[in-house]
Structure 1
Amino acid sequence: MLSITRTAIRPLGGVSVSSNAVQARNMATLKEIQGRLKSVSNISKITKSMKMIASTKVTKAQRAMENARTYGEATNELFKAAETKPAENSTTIYIAASGDRGLCGGIHSSVAKGTRRAIGNNNKAAIVVLGDKAKAQLSRSHRSQISLSFNQIGKDIPTFAEASAIVDVIRQQGIEFDSAEIVYNEFKSVISYEAVSTLVYNEATFKASPNFAAFEIEDDVLENLQEFTFANNIYHALVEGHAAEMAAKRAAMENATKNAEDMIGKLTLQYNRGRQAVITNELIDIITGASAL
């Protein structure tokens, strides 16, 4: 509650006159509140618009995610049917699938924390980061292990072509691995997500699977199959993470809008009380002067 005090000067003749300094201070305070009200109102309009845009994108992202899950599940079923497992002392690279944009809560922190958990004490494993947000966080603890990083991926909805391009760059850079663990945010609902990981194996590891012979895959096809399954899982991780990001952004903008509206209510009440106090002081001065006359 805005507290305003009134002081009076009583000159000869018994007439009470309010202090000009107090009146000026009161008006300055009201101007400040008005300025804050205008700023918060503008922020509320922006966050409301961003919420509407995110709501539209969530629907599109969910449709794309349902299609991408088919790719990821097909790859996982392939390795599951072949009973593929990484050998002891095998080389693993870690791929953190995140994004470049903020204003979506702690969704990027979730991927960074999940990647750190997956790495554990493996201080020699190579890390590939998709997205600037996760890169900034992983650089604090695993800067020397980051071999590659990508940004500007999935400005709208990630595509399979982008995932294929990532796989091509990883192969061109000569990063050797027996298995790749991809960490991403799994979309649970419009209000929840969870950092999970999935494994992809190279040709040699897949060929050494107990049930590999049942597939009757020729050697010249095996390399292409490995590239395809690798791109499949990266595509699935990117699209799943994009859907979770859009849902988190919608929730963040909704919360920001509610907080702005609450603040507008408090500032409006504070302004009205201050204005009422100023008017009351002016009326007291008028009545006091009239009574003295």
Structure 2
Amino acid sequence: MILTNEVQASQQATQFDLAAYLAERQAQVEAALDRSLQVIYPERIYEAMRYSLMAGGKRLRPILCLATCELSGGTPEMATPTACALEMIHTMSLIHDDLPAMDNDDYRRGKLTNHKVYGEDIAILAGDGLLAYAFEHVAIETKNVDPERILKVVAVLGRAVGAAGLVGGQVVDLECEGKCDVSLETLNFIHNHKTAALLEASVTSGAILAGASDSELQRLSRYAQHIGLAFQIVDDILDITATQEELGKTAGKDLQAQKATYPSIWGLEQSREQARNLVSAAKAELMDFGEAAKPLMAIADYITARKH
């Protein structure tokens, strides 16, 4: 479980019981995801979609969405469909990222990757199905929210996952594979798009649904950008330092693929320091929100303490 030693640092720093908060929110997200997608004909595609969607994980993106909706005066119910959609989109990206044409990985979250179970053809279609269904789910299931806000969330999600976001970052990542002269600027572009864009959408979408002001959205966007890069730096560190059992996926893949990473540019110690600096900057963006920002503060600290 993620809710043990790795959250102690953030709990001590914020006097907030992050372990209990994450456990409660994870349970809500798991139940909502389970309800959101049933197996119907043709069963194989729905089974493949559910296989990866219900494979566990931290559910960080849905939890961030729920947290910022509450921070901005909304309710978890308002944001739950969007929270589920974010996890569907994230799951799609993992299914496609694991394919032989991309990272060619055999394990994800401690289980065989989707294409290893269902074949490459069905895995591609499972990702496509999850991506399309994510937008349908937001549009149909979001209740008691101004339609203009729902439309804005759909636009935010579309941008985060498309060529201006995740897809664009993935393209540059593929182009840089095997190159030994990848600059820090290029590496930041990759991960601001491939990783941070969906985290930013997770944070801002919840706030949009609750009617946050433009200035509040700007602060939350900067918070999300900072934790997004910190998250990726820690991922790069863990790829070097953690075991396959700890990661739930193949360790050392970045090195094998000759990928540029933050440790390859900075080394491990400077990478850790940069992650800590980004977390501090993220938390500074939340100061004006007061006590209501404690969950987001604690999640920022958790990012550098995690071992998964």
TM over 0.5: no
TM tier relative to shorter chain: under 0.3
Higher helix residue share: 2
| Greater Cα radius of gyration, structure 1 or 2 | 1
Larger RCO (CA within 8 A; separation ≥ 6)? 1
